[in-house]
Amino acid sequence: MRTFIRLTAIVRPYFWWMALAALIGFATTGSGIGLLMTSAYIIAKAALQPPMAALQLGIVGVRFFGLARGVLRYAERLVSHNTTFKILAKLRLWFYDAIEPLAPARLMHFKSGDLLQRVVDDIQSLENIYTRVLAPPITALLVALLMWFLAGAYSLQAALLILGFHLLAGLGVPLLTMQLSRGLSVGIMNRKTDQQLLALDLFQGVGELQVYGRLAGHLQAMRTTEAAKLQLQRKNALVEGLQESLTGLLMNGAVITILWALIPKVSTGGINGISLAVITLAVMASFEPFIPLPAAVKHLEADRHAGNRLFEILDAKPETTSPTVPVNFPANLAIQAENLSFTYPGNRSKALDSITFSVPAGQHIAIVGPSGAGKSTITSLFMRFWNSSKGQISIGGISISRFDSEELRRNIALVSQRTYLFAETIRENLLLAKPDATDEELRNALSLCGLSGFSSKLDEWIGQHGMKLSGGERQRLAIARVVLQNAPIIILDEATANLDGITEKEVTETLAAISRGKTMITITHRLKAMDQYDNIIVLDKGRIFEQGAHERLMSREGLYRRMWELQHSTEMG
């Protein structure tokens, strides 16, 4: 119930639009009732062969209600769908605004396919909150009140009987449906999520599945999931058929009961035959708004499940937040890491353990060490993806926690080991770094990074994750972003780890050229061209083992020298 209340609170700004749509829906159903009542009046009255003038009221009523029903149905669809689309747009923006501060720290425990399912299908299912959960009961209630007054004008007993059948159709059938379909909607949604995950794994890992002979097993898992979903959908269809049948039976039962209650009054003169025909057809038409009510109960279960999945993410507290009154980014770019410690959630061992180092403005340093030494954790802390467990990082003597997160990231250009390229054109991928860049600036950035051949292909689509490009071209495109961003601080996190020797050398030279006069931190486990750095920090198991210039470290019998000799002896061999 709490989840439903939270979901309805989100769409509260559209209350009056929803009320208007419900009112028009009631008027539409009322026009349908009026159409049948006036039709019954004309047919019954005409059977008595009265003068034509006596039928004029009924004829006008049929024309009016017939036209009104079509116009009102269109207006109801227009208002309700417009309101639904506005609600969906608000839900998507609300979800994105809430989820953005959680990335990447709070989202690392979720699979990408699962997140996609929540962002797309779960939010899409919430459109039912208004169209299929809130509106139908309101319309049905208004129609029930209308029939109470219409039937009550003829007989209190008839009004009570109609009310009883309406209660059965509005409460009894939905409750029975809820009991029979318990877990079906949620089960179908879960199977769809499983399908999304399996399909995404297939698309992204079909090569690995083929290499290791697991493709057939994966396809079988997809077929099994599809079969389970279809079985649940069949059960759901049976319940839907049952609920429609029960509503139809109740309508017929209401008609028979009303005839049973009112026919004796015809013989006593309490009601005439024409009125009996009119009220009977009105009873039949009054059950139209009760048909969607059982489905509303099922949609409520699905909406609650979708809401719980969304709130599971949104209720998470962001790992990092911007200060209420941020400090402007300083002109002094000296970097200082003091007693820096960090432990990932759920881990006992520290990723970083009380490390301290400094980077004077304009200097280039390298942070090296074996895999798992804690190098990339430093990048995450610099970009404020995580907050340090202890200690701090400062720029110009000011803790980075005092800067606005967006401004901090605009002033730090990052090239990571895994460059993410969107399934867009080269232009769109470059404009991420500088949205207002001109074509000349884009071509110049590409030329500086050795991609001058791409200057005439700015509007060429590069494929999913940039798969139409080679690994070297993707990394060069990432460096072109750095050129466009023109940030005073550059961090390279294993930027050349997946490149061949020749491409690695070319990319390294490009980086050295564009970083002149800027502060640069290179994080790597590959010891290449290390003599170009002003200082080298050697990490292992989250601690600084040694630091200094290349020549100084090579003169010692330490970890750096052992790593150097191991790598270069392997290359020579």
236-260 pLDDT, tens digit each: 888 888 888 898 899 999 999 988 8
Q: CA-CA distance, 233 to 219, in Å (whole number)?
A: 21
Q: Is the pLDDT of residue 395 over 90?
A: yes
pLDDT per position as a tens digit, 288-305: 888 888 878 777 777 787
Question: Helix, strand or coil for residue 418?
Answer: coil
The domain of 422 spans 335-572
Same domain, 340 and 309: no
Q: What is the reported pLDDT for 498?
A: 64
**How does residue 471 score in pLDDT terms, banded at 50, 70 and 90?**
confident
Give the integer Cα–Cα distance in Å for 411 and 128. 44
540 and 414 in a single domain? The answer is: yes
223, containing H or E segment: helix 215-267
User: For the purposes of burial, counting CB atoms within 10 Å of the CB of 264, is it exposed (0-12), middle (13-18) or buried (19 or more)?
Assistant: exposed
Cβ pair 470, 454 in contact under 8 A? no
Residues 6+ apart with CB under 8 A from 445: 430, 437, 480, 481, 483, 484
Do 473 and 451 contact (CB within 8 A), yes or no? yes
β-strands 364-368, 412-415: how paired? unpaired
User: Can you read off the two tokens belonging to residue 141?
Assistant: 């209630």
| CATH code where residue 21 lies | 1.20.1560.10
Is the model's pLDDT at 220 over the cut of 90? yes
Residues 305 and 353 in one domain: no
Alpha-carbon distance 20 to 15, whole Å?
9
Is the pLDDT score of 450 beyond 70? yes
What are 18-51's pLDDT values in tens digits? 888 888 888 998 898 888 888 888 888 787 777 8
C-alpha distance from residue 291 to each of 68, 120, 531 (Å):
22, 28, 78
**Same structural domain for residues 533 and 463?**
yes
- Same domain for 289 and 143, yes or no, is yes
Q: Please count the structural domains in the chain.
A: 2
Q: In terms of C-beta density within 10 A (0-12 exposed, 13-18 middle, 19 or more buried), how is residue 64 classed?
A: middle
Residue 324 lies in a domain: no
The pLDDT value recorded for residue 149 is 87
At residue 268, does pLDDT exceed 90? no
Q: Which DSSP string do the residues of 264-300 spell out, in sequence order?
A: HHHHTTSS-HHHHHHHHHHHHHTTGGGTTHHHHHHHH
Which among 49-53, 330-334, 526-530 has the top mean pLDDT?
330-334
482: CATH? 3.40.50.300
As a whole number, mean pLDDT of residues 483-497 equals: 86
Mean pLDDT of 492-512: 75
Residue 453 has pLDDT above 90, yes or no: no
Clarify whether residues 105 and 247 are in a common domain.
yes
* Sequence-separated (6 or more) residues with CB below 8 Å from residue 330: 395, 396, 397, 398
Give the model's pLDDT for residue 573.
46
pLDDT in tens, 115-128: 777 777 778 777 77
Name the pLDDT band for 130 (thresholds 50, 70, 90): low
Which residues, 6 or more positions from 546, have their beta carbon under 8 angstroms from its beta carbon?
Answer: 538, 553, 556, 558, 559, 560
Q: What is the pLDDT of residues 188-215, one digit of tens each?
A: 888 888 888 888 888 878 888 888 888 8
* CA trace torsion 117, 119, 125, 128 (10° rounding): 170
Lowest mean pLDDT among 94-98, 375-379, 423-427, 560-564: 94-98
Q: Is the pLDDT of residue 133 over 80?
A: no
- For residues 235 and 377, membership in a common domain is answered with no
- In angstroms, the Cα distances linking 322 to 165, 342, 403 are 58, 20, 7
Q: Is the pLDDT of residue 74 over 90?
A: yes
Look at residues 418, 376, 367 and name the one whose alpha carbon lies nearest to residue 527. 367
pLDDT tier for residue 478 given thresholds of 50, 70 and 90: confident
Interatomic CA distance for residues 548 and 554, integer angstroms? 10
- Per-residue tokens: 512: 């050295």
**pTM for this entry:** 0.69
* Mean pLDDT, rounded, of the chain: 85
Percent of the chain beyond pLDDT 70?
98
Tokens of 505: 């050398």
Nearest to 24 by CA among 71, 56, 92: 71
pLDDT at residue 570, rounded to an integer:
54
Is there a single domain that holds both residue 226 and residue 348? Answer: no
Model pLDDT, residue 185: 79
Specify if 266 maps to a domain.
Answer: yes
- 75/490 Cα distance (integer angstroms): 58
User: Residue 572: what pLDDT?
Assistant: 47
Residues 251 and 381 in one domain: no
